[in-house]
Structure 1
Amino acid sequence: MSTAPQRVGRRERNKQEKLDRITAAARELFAEHGVDEVTTQQVAERADIGTGTLFLYAKTKGDLLLLAQNSSYADALERGRAAAEAAADTLEAVMAVVRPVVECNRKQVDNGRTYLREMVFGDPEEPNRRAALELAFQTEEAIAAALARDPRIESGTAPVLAHVVSAVMFLSMAAAVNIDRSVEEVLQEIGDQVRTLLPR
């Protein structure tokens, strides 16, 4: 049996290249104008594809936002995991995971809040929503890993605490009362709540 890597066919390369163009176009346009001000036609034009082709990759504008934000979220989560490894204490490690996720979500506040709404209330079987939910689950795992390094926290307790921290983070990012707050203010709110969960 051969273990040589299989080459990706031209058709798959073309599909991936179109997906990359669509994702980049959506990210750029949503960042420039906000999700509410961008049409699917504008994304298709920026990606240099037909609207029909666009709908093969994302059926709605909400789906396009998920596609674009998932890419940014995945990058943010990787930065958070790496920063948590170098953190000196438990709170710092947890907030190292949380910070880049919050920063990513708050680059364009309306986009971030719409992304969370699409993630929570959309069809979980739709691929881009499923990917978003998987990223949320991976965020909880990263937070649980940071908590589990603390010898005062039992291994079975870390995932439960991580679930609570994750809920606090997502509520703080989505809450209407926080729309005008800065990233640092939102992080301070989250940090204050996380601090109360940790052993003293």
Structure 2
Amino acid sequence: MSLDSPPVGRRERNKQAKLERIIAAASELFAAHGVDDVTTQQIAERADIGTGTLFLYAKTKGELLLLVQNAAYADALARGTAAADATPDVLDAVMAIVRPVVECNRTQIDNGRTYLREMVFGDPEEPRHREALEIVAQTEEAVAAVLRRDTRIGGDDAVTLARVVSAVQFLTMAASLNVGATIEEILRDVRGQIAAILPH
């Protein structure tokens, strides 16, 4: 009896190819112009599909942005977690997780702020929003694991502090006051806030 997966049918291959074209088109257009200045019609034309077909994959531009950005945020988290594993100091290790996420968010500032807004206020039942919220949960788990290295921080406290770190990070990135801030300025601000809540 073969353990090989059954071959993927033509219909599934076509759906996957369309999805890849949509992601590529949305990525290029959002990076070049920002999510607010791109229409769904432009994305559909670039992906060589009809607008109706596009809406089968994502109902709004916000969902399209989540579709595009979730993979980038998941990759940022993976890089941050790997860096944290190699960083002995607790605060430095937390910042090792935070840094690539902030860098990902600031690649295109308007897109980054829109992504955060969509993630927080979007429909949690929609698959792209659920995926974004799962990335946040994984980030908090990674931060909690680092915080548990400090013997003064118990398991429940580590989870609570990780949620506070998440809130600090996202609010600092999303704040209108920080639109013109550099990555290093954002990181310095986040680090100062996190240092204030950790045991001294």
* Smaller-chain TM-score bracket: over 0.9
The answer for unaligned runs of 5 or more in structure 1 is none
| Equivalent AA in structure 2 for residue 12 of structure 1 | E
In the other structure, the counterpart of 1:31 is 31
Kindly provide the CA deviation profile for residues 10-32 of structure 1, in whole angstroms up to 9, marking residues without a partner as x: 22222122112211211111111
Runs of at least 4 residues off by over 4 Å: none
User: 1:82 aligns to what SS in structure 2?
Assistant: helix
Post-superposition Cα deviations, 1:35-70, rounded to whole Å, max 9, x if no partner, equal 111111111122222211111101111111111111
Structure 1 residues 91-170: aligned runs within 5 Å: 91-170=91-170
Aligned-residue offset at 1:170? 0.5
Q: Tell me, yes or no, if structure 1 residue 17 matches structure 2 residue 8.
A: no
Give the structure 2 partner of residue 189 of structure 1.
189
Gap runs ≥5 in structure 2:
none
SS of residue paired to 1:59: coil
Cα offset, 1:2, TM superposition: 5.6
Q: CA deviation at 1:185?
A: 0.3
Deviation at 1:153, TM superposition (A): 1.7
Q: Give the SS at the match of 1:52.
A: helix
Q: Determine the structure 1 residue equivalent to 2:79.
A: 79
Q: Which residue of 2 aligns with 1:67?
A: 67
Moved more, 31-40 or 141-150: 141-150
Aligned pair in 2 of structure 1 residues 50, 187: CA closer, same or farther (>3 Å)? same
> How many equivalent residue pairs?
200
Mapped to 2, the partners of 1:3 and 1:148 lie a distance apart of: 41
- Structure 2 residue identity aligned to 1:45: E
**TM-score normalized by structure 2?**
0.95
Deviation at 1:194, TM superposition (A): 0.7
CA–CA distance in structure 1, aligned partners of residues 182 and 7 of structure 2 = 47
The DSSP-based 3-state class of the residue aligned with 2:155 is: coil
Query: d(CA) in 2 for partners of 1:175 and 1:152?
Result: 32
Q: Match for 1:26: what amino acid?
A: A
Rounded to whole Å, the distance in 2 between the matches of 1:74 and 1:170 is 15
- Aligned to 1:156, the other structure's residue is in SS state helix
Q: Which residue of 1 aligns with 2:180?
A: 180
**Backbone CA RMSD of aligned residues:** 1.4
| Partner of residue 8, structure 2 | 8
**Matches of 1:148 and 1:46, distance apart in 2:** 47
Percent identity between matched residues is: 69
Partner SS, residue 149 of structure 1:
coil
User: How far did residue 156 of structure 1 move?
Assistant: 2.0
Task: Give the equivalent residue in structure 1 for 2:43.
Answer: 43
Question: 2: distance between equivalents of 1:48 and 1:149?
Answer: 51
In 2, distance between residues paired with 1:157 and 1:12?
A: 45
* Alpha-carbon distance, 1:136 to partner: 1.0
TM-score with structure 1 setting the length: 0.95
